[in-house]
Amino acid sequence: MANSSNEASAGMMPSIVGVGSVNGGNNKNNNGQRGPGGGSTAMSSIGSKPTLIRTSNLCFLIMDAPRQSNLHLYIKECRRNDVTDIVRVCEPTYHGGELTSAGISLHEMAYEDGHSPPEPVLDRWLALVEDRFMGGGGGGGSGSGPSPAAKNKEHRTIAVHCVAGLGRAPVLVAIALMEFDRMDAVEAVMMIRSQRRGAINEKQLQYLEGYKCRKRAGGGGCACVIM
């Protein structure tokens, strides 16, 4: 199983690009926030700039976890990048109502840090990706919020985040690249790492190396040697 210790704590996350400023505040926890719906907080910036991963067929935005206090900044990034869906693969740190108001569907696909994605998560993730980019934009993924059916598939992006945006979220994006763009594990990981430094640790590489693609002709695997 893949070890996602590189995202075990947001405090260990390397800041790629800092946005905004940090203001003082009272009654805050060590992360500078009170949790979902907890009122105003000290954090008013994006932890690391969201990373766009685009191919001829697919488009993903890898993010760290928004907080209720800075969710509006992430929504601006999502609008800028034509995001129709956000996939949350960690514990909630914000409420989804603001996303619904912005026309973005929220999909809960949380799984335990330090583990590879379980079958139910993989099933839902692949169904969502296939629906949004290969299908007609219907209701794949069983998310909350409006359906993005009216949005042209050439102008759709799926955002996905874990805690730091370095482990669980990039692994799901790598799987999608392997499944739908016929990349091998090396190509997928190198593409992601070229845009998001520190993504995908050694254990996760091993998991991706042994991952068996479901949608390739003949059911062939995606295994390869990763140096």
Residues noted as catalytic:
113, 162
Dihedral sign, Cα of residue 150, residue 91, residue 172, residue 212: negative
What is the rounded CA–CA span in Å between residue 169 and residue 155?
Answer: 21
- Is there a contact between 128 and 139 (Cβ–Cβ < 8 Å)? no
What is the rounded CA–CA span in Å between residue 109 and residue 156?
Answer: 20
Residue 132's SS3 state is helix
What secondary structure letter does DSSP report for 32?
S
What secondary structure letter does DSSP report for 130?
I
Task: Determine the Cα angle at 71 with ends 143 and 94, to 5°.
Answer: 60
What secondary structure letter does DSSP report for 46?
B
